[in-house]
Amino acid sequence: MNKKCPQCGLANFPHEENCRRCQTVLTSQTVQNTNDNDSRKTHGLDRAAFWFIKRFASAAVIAALILFGVYISLLRSANTLTTEQQITVDKAIEVLSEKGFEREVSLLRSVAAYRSSDNWLNNYTGHETAYAATNFPFEIITLYETFFTETIDDTERASILLHEAQHLQGANEANTCEYVWRNKKTLGWSKANYKTSKVWRGVQILTKENAPRLFICEGNEMGDCIE
């Protein structure tokens, strides 16, 4: 075993009697004392690391329990969808699946929880007139009555769910509006077929407010640059 110098800390070869760096005499006792000190330091570091990991794990568990409690309270403070409403939602999701939006479909089918009325958080924070609202990171989508009554067909409802699926991933309103508007052609939701729709006009206004650059382009100033 190498002899560690108690003075400068250099590791010397076992046969050396003096430290190669500072010439301190390397007696068996001094080397043993140094090794004992190193052992105590290592043990102290191990205990500190264990304490830190234990405290971190405890904090993580407490945070997870709090979030779970909030999640359950959000679900319980709002109404579930009726069977008929759930069928309507499933049809809209199927449209997204047929058009290739598999990531969003996976979230909407397997992750999202649906409600038909505001939970306590929505009531507290308030929201503008909307067809739907998403609570992130709790992955709860509230579908208002207008989602079912003011939309023309499954494709239009799919466009709303495509919007909410972006919020499920934590996207802000600007990025969400831009994503949906850029993908409306893929979805089959076009001006030619939906320009008289209340939903189309509302989404167009919302997108102009949040992603105005999509409507400012050469030769088509303030028009739709994605058409």
Per DSSP, helices labelled H in 154-197 are 154-168, 173-182, 184-187, 191-194
110 pLDDT band, cuts 50/70/90, is very high
Report the candidate in 180, 165, 118 with the shortest Cα–Cα distance to residue 145.
118
pLDDT digit string, tens, across residues 118-159: 999 998 877 666 899 999 999 999 999 999 999 999 999 999
Omega cis (within 30) before 137: yes
The residues pairing with 69 across neighbouring beta strands, listed in sequence order, are none
Question: pLDDT per residue over 50-88, tens digit each?
Answer: 777 878 888 888 888 888 898 999 999 999 999 999 999
In the chain, the largest separation of any two C-alpha atoms, in whole Å, equals 96
Confidence band of 44 (pLDDT split at 50, 70, 90)? low
- For 142, the enclosing helix (H) or strand (E) is strand 140-143
Instruction: Name the band, by pLDDT with cuts 50, 70 and 90, for residue 216.
Output: confident
